[in-house]
């Protein structure tokens, strides 16, 4: 399916769940790996605020893209964020959604006003 690049420059993104290894198979506990590089994938939660609306998102990031200095509740930058629609049949039921993936996550630079 097609990937859609998500523009984040005008949004506020706050970290709500610390990065942890993404589980591929809950029954076996197998950890998800990137299909091309074999690198461990991490899962994290953010609240994405733009235009007066907010959404809770689960985002997948390669382990090497998780930078130091991330703190819960703090602003972050999602580098190379894409959205990918998906659909599947699970237990006879059609399911669909949007998966979010970023190349990296880093603490956001906080700008200080000129009068501060």
Residue 113 domain-assigned? no
- Identify the CA nearest to 61 among candidates 39, 30, 76, 86: 39
Phi-psi region of 10 (alpha: psi -120 to 50; beta: other; left: phi over 0): alpha
Q: Yes or no: say if 80 and 103 are a contact pair by the CB < 8 Å rule.
A: yes
Boundaries of domain holding 98: 4-107
Q: What is the CATH number of the domain that holds 82?
A: 2.40.50.140
Determine, yes or no, domain membership for 21.
yes
Cβ atoms within 10 Å, residue 19: 20
Ranges of residues in the chain with a pLDDT under 70 are: 1, 110-116
Has residue 115 been placed in a domain? no
Q: How many domains does the chain have?
A: 1
CB neighbourhood size of 101 (10 A) = 19
Please indicate, yes or no, if residue 45 is contained in any of the structural domains: yes
């Amino acid at each position: 399916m097609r990937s859609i690049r998500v523009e984040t420059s005008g949004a506020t993104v706050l970290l709500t769940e610390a990065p942890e290894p993404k589980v591929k198979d809950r029954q076996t506990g197998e950890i998800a790996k990137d299909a091309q590089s074999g690198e461990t994938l991490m899962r994290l939660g953010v609240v994405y605020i733009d235009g007066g609306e907010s959404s809770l998102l689960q985002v997948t990031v390669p382990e090497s893209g998780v930078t130091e200095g991330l703190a819960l509740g703090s602003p972050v930058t999602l580098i190379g964020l894409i959205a990918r629609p998906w659909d599947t049949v699970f237990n006879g039921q059609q399911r669909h959604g949007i998966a979010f993936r970023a190349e990296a996550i880093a603490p956001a630079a906080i700008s200080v006003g000129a009068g501060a």
